[in-house]
Structure 1
Amino acid sequence: MKNLLKVGLFFLSIISIVNCSNNEDSIDLVDDRSFITDSTSDFFINYDGTVNITVTGVFTDSGIAGEVKRRGFVYGNTPNTIVSLDNTEPLLGNNPIYTTFENLEAGKTFYVRGFFEMNDDTFFYGNEIQVSTNVNATSTRSISMLIKSELFFSNSEGITPELEVTSIEKESPVAIGFEYSVNQDFSDSSIILDKDRLGNIYLTTYSEFVEGLASNTVYYFRPYAKYADGSKTNGGTSIASFTR
């Protein structure tokens, strides 16, 4: 009888351990997946007229994080777009996270939502937002530039001044270079562009070799940029003078 009682207690302890283990597993596998994409977005107009759209969001998947093999944003021209070969971007940063869809066609509406790809190849999708590339940056774009006080290069044929882009917002100019003149008010000025620049204008230094200047003459230089709509700017008040 005592042996039977011991056997019974043993099986009860085993069942109790199994139940506890199952309960712990069920807690670990709580499905708390959530992916909320913010309804507001930001844009940048590229030099070729295409548009970059940046979206942000927050996600939660702590309960089943080990079951997630990929997270990102998916976009498309129709609602409820699903993940395919070329319509996703990875998450950047920590919560809140963000990503940028680059070189989108202007004048279109795109649908965006966050997703998790699970280990079993299924997908979880968050809420969907609409973003438009029908944007105009005329009143919001800006660029700040300055002329460096020292020449990058100088010889008997000409000089190479440098300008630095220190900030740029909303839209890339299509051309960048220098405006120069022998007059401080830049009357009778000339324009020379950076011929090696390809693509967008970024926060970096640009230069160009300027020929045909008169000897022993002071020239005044200031930055020059031109947007796709023909608007021109000096990007600030930076002026430098160099003697040829």
Structure 2
Amino acid sequence: MQPHQPYTPLPPAAPAPAKQTLGDWFYLRRTQVEALAGSMTIKSDFSKDLMEALGRKLRTMEGLISQDTPTATVVTQFQGWLDDYKDHGAWNHYVAEQAKLDKAEADRQEKATKDREISQAKQRASSAAITLTKTYGGGLLSDRGTGRVIAGLAVVNSPATYTGISGVDMHTHATNSVIDELLKGTHKAEEWPQASCAEVDALKSYLHAAPAPIVSIAQIPRGALVFHAQVWNIGGTKGGKYVTPHWQARGACANCTQWVEKIGALLA
């Protein structure tokens, strides 16, 4: 399948375009016009016959170029034909329809780029969390005897990563005014405080490291932060089967999902 070719206007007659350049231009326009004509039916909002006639005119122009007709002459002749309305509006209809295709393709490419950047950020967030778990290969327990959580935070389209550990006694930064503002609108949905989560710790590190001070929730870029969490599974006998203690991926808890959604962050 040929890559998408966006519409470009007719090259000017002066300076005279190169033969290959003009030949390629007419070839692309003809193939696009023929594809448009092929997609049209009796219910289309423009005449299929007129669009096919435009395709034939473009093919004629290609023939003139192959016969070594001066390119300036070909451009002038085709432009004059359009100016005399010999196309009966077919050219303008083609240009308008091609613009729709060009926009759709641009939107597709933009989405593909964004999806790729998000995927890469998810990988970096996961890698950051998993790398830190290796520092605590023998486990990391809370004072309640349950496994602690380690979170990785990555920024879309940036190499920077941050990590956090659950339990305020393990947090790198004691507090942050933006975190305080963020947690005000949440409720305690888990048995532990909202401020104690590993994701909160990682977010505090990100806020403190920001090159330009972030002093309000509104300044946190939406859709740009990605979290990944690992929890220490204490193992033991469960359902008659022994489970070896280990680190495992886990989703954000019910405390964190409240503010994660508020800032438009993503989860890996």
Smaller-chain TM-score bracket: under 0.3
TM-score (norm 2): 0.23
Q: TM-score, normalised by structure 1?
A: 0.24
| Structure with greater proportional helix content | 2
